[in-house]
Structure 1
Amino acid sequence: MARFHPRLLSIASLLLGLLLSASSASSQNRINVLLVTSDDLGLQLGCYGDPVAVTPHLDALAADSTRFNVAYVAQASCSPSRSAMFTGLYPHTNGQYALTNSGYSLHRQFRDATLPNRLAQEGYRTGIIGKLHVAPESSFHWSFRGKANTRDVASVANTAAEFIGASSQPFFLMINYSDPHWERNQGKGPWFFQDQVEGQPVTVLTGKDVRPFPFQGYRAPQHLDRIAGYYNAVHRLDAGIGMLMAKLKSSGHSEDTLVLFLGDHGPPFARGKTTCYEAGLRVPFFVRWPGVSKPIVSDAMVSSVDIVPTVLDAVGAPLPTPMHGHSLRKPVAGDTSDWRPYLAAEFHSHGLTPFFPRRAIRDDRYKLIHNLLPGNPLQIRMDGDPGMDEPRDPKYIESEFERAYQNWAAPPQWELFDLESDPWELHNVAGEPSMAAVRTRLTAALAEWESETADPLRDPRFVEEMAARAKAGPASKK
């Protein structure tokens, strides 16, 4: 029978205790993650220079974070956009081509590797407040699902505090605010923006307090009323962010929590959401990474596909493959060397129809859009929203926007814009001889991105198949 010296047993016990204590401390000291999204929020914030928005809390968060000037979502539609946040993959790879109610969902091979599932495997508590909107929902493993009304921003903050304080185990919490998405309302129509919810915002704007969006140039009185409603929702969101960050601070986790904030795409107005224009793709994006990020404004071009690799880098977890995004560790620290020279995005469809496939790529000045079905009439009423059809009364349209609306409604095969002189993409210069070299360069960059990401829509037969599926209805989709 083996015999052990009492002193050796004592030393072994001490070492085991130290190892277990270190393991527990390591688990408890791992960085927490708070991912916050806003539904239909473009650059309508004070920190991005919007002349109407009064957003002191979001501006304060931005000032304490790395704020990205040029941040794209993968696709300017709710479900596809969120699918990229969960997978680090563009929708043409992950399978969530359109809204969940159109029958599309994540491909089976990517369902176990979504961000919350990976973090659960790493020992994190995973929570969500607000809509998920990526299919199938059953493939996501949450340890907590908050039931707060996400327009009642005080309730959201309280629910978040409940989850954060429930355990010392590290957490991942995703909060998806509904604002400034419109809300169905029997009295004012299906596309009504709620001016006030539970007293927020305190001050309510009307159409007389706002101006046309710079990407629209449309002055119809009823349209200005809708814009005012949108800003009221933005202001309510801002109040909620203030409450949420106060709860995080009072929990003691402000300095050990990676905070990411972004919109899921641009505002639900013509030439915004559901397009590949800047007003649809470009969103506010802040990253506050304790001990890593600097409170700077960065011109590095970033994407929502960068969220997964950033979070997994922060928690020390390996990346799944394939992966389209890159960790933001270097850009948030102020190092943009060897960063991407081009930024790409896409669109397929929003609801069931119409199928309207596009690809877009930009550098620091020029932007190219490839419409795969050129001239395809835009018959979309996004989410049933007549606001997409509103800019049709010529007496309210500023003259320089007339051609832009024609291209939006039935676009040519190629659109090229000089974003330096034409930031809202009003003048298509794709056919100008002086732009031939730029167009050739961006076309090559787009083809390279499509090849690297194995874009199935490179094959015209696949485009035809998807168009046929859209026409046939959701039962034909997989």
Structure 2
Amino acid sequence: MCQPSREALMTGMIPHRSGGIGFTAIDSEIPTFTTVLQDNGYFTAGINKLQHMQPPGRFTWDWEAGGMNGDPLTWDDRNPVLTADRVEEAMGAARAQNKPFFISCNITDPHRPFYGSPEANAQDDNQTGPYKIPHEILPEQVVIPPHLEDLPDIRKELAQYYNSVQRLDIAVGNVLDKLNASPEKDNTLVLFVSDHGMPFPFAKSTCYSSGTLTPALIKWPGMSAPRTFDALTSNIDILPTVLDLLGIDTPAGVDGTSWLPMINGKVTSIREYTFTYMNTEYNGTNYAMRGIQDHKYLMVFTPWSDGKFTLKYTDSVTGLTYKALVAAAAGDPAVAKRVKQYTYGIPLALYDLQKDPGQRVNIIDRPDMREARAAGAHEGNERPATRKLRDIPQGWEAGRQAKRTTVPALWHRRGAGWPSRLTEHSRPAAQARRSIGRQVHPSSREADGDVARWRDVVLRGVEVGRGRLSEFVRTGTTPVR
């Protein structure tokens, strides 16, 4: 979601360690991009979504702009021309102080309401002038993603969403045009990422792959030829990666890992698994979920799923798509099963990402999975990492964060220029991890690689911890960090 995802990116820390578990402020002592870069002489500027980076004392902007008519607490203006003008103004303010800059430019598209909807028309000047896109996508032109059904209203809403994405693309292009016309064009790092998946069922506010698989593009002066990396990465990696590029030490306790060793060819990957997190919604309702995945499997733990509690306080159920699914479920058992899966959740599920990209078939009780679990269940047969995880009552809280955030961010380095050869910088060892239950957890690299053993490990942790987490969900209280 918007705020916890941004706070994870800006701190390099998983939510229950920074304090940003929902629409809540991080702890007051946590270092952030803004504090670290300001301490190193950078001018910091924030554009839009500033209310989703809290508290102000940890996100201290030298220059800021957002909202309607200059009020940062109102809904951000989605004018793609205005967005670029604000970036240009921020660069000029940094130039006037002769400082390198960090600009966090958050573009509200493609957030709801989507382009062309009645609510968006009212908000965005009826989609005229700079709000209008040149090539509107029609419902019959959209490709239905694997986690959704092919229904008329879903096609309609997907077309609105893709048109919002098109306006986002225009805004990013305008920002890059401003940068390319500036004196800083040859000395600025550009990062483009998203905070989460599309706000549709089985996506945003869940740990399904469509909720956490998001783009990440990075460019800096003097980098090698563009490449695509098929590696398990996370947005908590962005802070250590960028600081690595800037030659600034990463703060102690950061959970993320720099991408530079992988980019420079020193390693082929930086983690064996990614861990994803969902906690409280914007209204405080706790829909806790956890995900662990590699390239083939995704396991999802949903502690609020008890057959009674339902998912209903999230913006993914407010549009045309969810209503279309509910209506179709009345006459289609397959759709009804899908709606039940989303609305009531599944306590523990395992999905084959290659064969089932929409996460429709839970294979955790498949015979071959049960047999593999039994084969690995003997104490003497377990690897050290597995035994270590078994001893952690809240073992599901272990691991790394894989959420996404702000779009785009610019870092400019003035003066000495960029290093001619990028190297991996040493960092202090991470401090002890805090989590629910105040346990110290192993890193994702220590986890066992056998999917059946994951199941055994997680089930042992769930037996102890599930009731407590479910109680947090039902009562709306905040888990102890």
TM over 0.5, yes or no? yes
Distance, in Å, in 2 between the alignment partners of 1:470 and 1:430 is: 29
Q: Which region of structure 1 is more displaced relative to structure 2, 133-142 or 364-373?
A: 133-142
Q: Which residue of 2 aligns with 1:450?
A: 397
Structure 1 residue runs without a partner (length 5+): 1-76
Report the Cα offset of residue 393 of structure 1.
1.7
Amino acid at match of 1:455: S
Structure 2 residue runs without a partner (length 5+): 68-75, 377-381, 400-432, 438-460
Cα separation, partners in 2 of 1:109 and 1:468, compared to 1, 3 Å: farther
- 2:46–2:61 contact (8 Å) kept in structure 1: yes
Provide the secondary structure at the position in 2 that maps to 1:417.
Answer: strand
Q: Which residue of 2 aligns with 1:467?
A: 473
Cα separation, partners in 2 of 1:345 and 1:86, compared to 1, 3 Å: same
Report the Cα offset of residue 449 of structure 1.
7.1
Distance, in Å, in 2 between the alignment partners of 1:470 and 1:374 is: 15
Counting only pairs closer than 5 Å after superposition, residues 412-427 of structure 1 correspond to structure 2 as 412-427=346-361
Distance, in Å, in 1 between the alignment partners of 2:330 and 2:201 is: 14
Cα separation, partners in 2 of 1:371 and 1:477, compared to 1, 3 Å: closer
Q: Which region of structure 1 is more displaced relative to structure 2, 453-462 or 155-164?
A: 453-462
Q: Which residue of 1 aligns with 2:135?
A: 203
Q: Which residue of 2 aligns with 1:304?
A: 235
Cα separation, partners in 2 of 1:307 and 1:438, compared to 1, 3 Å: farther
Q: Which residue of 2 aligns with 1:78?
A: 2
Q: Which residue of 2 aligns with 1:25?
A: none
- 2:109–2:164 contact (8 Å) kept in structure 1: yes
Distance, in Å, in 2 between the alignment partners of 1:81 and 1:179 is: 16
Q: Which region of structure 1 is more displaced relative to structure 2, 149-158 or 280-289?
A: 149-158
Deviation string, structure 1 residues 249-270 (Cα, Å, up to 9, x no partner): 1113333212111111011111
Q: Which residue of 1 aligns with 2:166?
A: 235
- 1:193–1:229 contact (8 Å) kept in structure 2: no
Cα separation, partners in 2 of 1:272 and 1:187, compared to 1, 3 Å: closer
Amino acid at match of 1:389: Y
Q: Which residue of 2 aligns with 1:152?
A: 79
Report the Cα offset of residue 247 of structure 1.
1.3
Distance, in Å, in 2 between the alignment partners of 1:222 and 1:308 is: 40
- 2:110–2:168 contact (8 Å) kept in structure 1: yes
Amino acid at match of 1:340: R
Distance, in Å, in 1 between the alignment partners of 2:331 and 2:174 is: 39
Q: Which residue of 1 aligns with 2:417?
A: none
Q: Which protein has the bigger strand share?
A: 1
Identity %: 27
- 1:190–1:385 contact (8 Å) kept in structure 2: no
The answer on 1:281 being equivalent to 2:212 is: yes
Q: Which region of structure 1 is more displaced relative to structure 2, 419-428 or 161-170?
A: 161-170
Q: Which residue of 2 aligns with 1:88?
A: 12
Report the Cα offset of residue 404 of structure 1.
3.4
- 1:344–1:359 contact (8 Å) kept in structure 2: yes
Q: Which residue of 1 aligns with 2:22?
A: 98
Report the Cα offset of residue 352 of structure 1.
2.8
Cα separation, partners in 2 of 1:397 and 1:142, compared to 1, 3 Å: farther
Deviation string, structure 1 residues 10-49 (Cα, Å, up to 9, x no partner): xxxxxxxxxxxxxxxxxxxxxxxxxxxxxxxxxxxxxxxx
Q: Which residue of 2 aligns with 1:407?
A: 341
Report the Cα offset of residue 410 of structure 1.
1.4
Provide the secondary structure at the position in 2 that maps to 1:351.
Answer: coil
- 1:181–1:268 contact (8 Å) kept in structure 2: yes
Distance, in Å, in 1 between the alignment partners of 2:332 and 2:121 is: 24
The answer on 1:431 being equivalent to 2:365 is: yes
Counting only pairs closer than 5 Å after superposition, residues 339-358 of structure 1 correspond to structure 2 as 339-358=270-289
The answer on 1:171 being equivalent to 2:110 is: no
Distance, in Å, in 2 between the alignment partners of 1:237 and 1:252 is: 25
- What's the TM-score, normalizing by structure 2? 0.73
Distance, in Å, in 2 between the alignment partners of 1:206 and 1:129 is: 31
Distance, in Å, in 2 between the alignment partners of 1:252 and 1:140 is: 27
Q: Which region of structure 1 is more displaced relative to structure 2, 413-422 or 388-397?
A: 388-397
Distance, in Å, in 1 between the alignment partners of 2:224 and 2:296 is: 26
- 1:306–1:328 contact (8 Å) kept in structure 2: yes
Distance, in Å, in 2 between the alignment partners of 1:193 and 1:325 is: 37
Report the Cα offset of residue 336 of structure 1.
3.7
Moved over 4 A (4+): 184-187, 189-195, 395-402, 438-449, 457-462
Deviation string, structure 1 residues 252-306 (Cα, Å, up to 9, x no partner): 3333212111111011111111111011111011111333454011011110101
Q: Which residue of 2 aligns with 1:389?
A: 322
Cα separation, partners in 2 of 1:364 and 1:354, compared to 1, 3 Å: same
Distance, in Å, in 2 between the alignment partners of 1:407 and 1:94 is: 31
Larger radius of gyration: 1
Cα separation, partners in 2 of 1:410 and 1:260, compared to 1, 3 Å: same
Provide the secondary structure at the position in 2 that maps to 1:300.
Answer: coil
Report the Cα offset of residue 384 of structure 1.
8.5
Distance, in Å, in 1 between the alignment partners of 2:195 and 2:65 is: 20
- 2:304–2:473 contact (8 Å) kept in structure 1: no
Q: Which residue of 2 aligns with 1:137?
A: 56
Q: Which region of structure 1 is more displaced relative to structure 2, 254-263 or 418-427?
A: 254-263
How well do the aligned residues superpose, as a CA RMSD in angstroms?
3.4
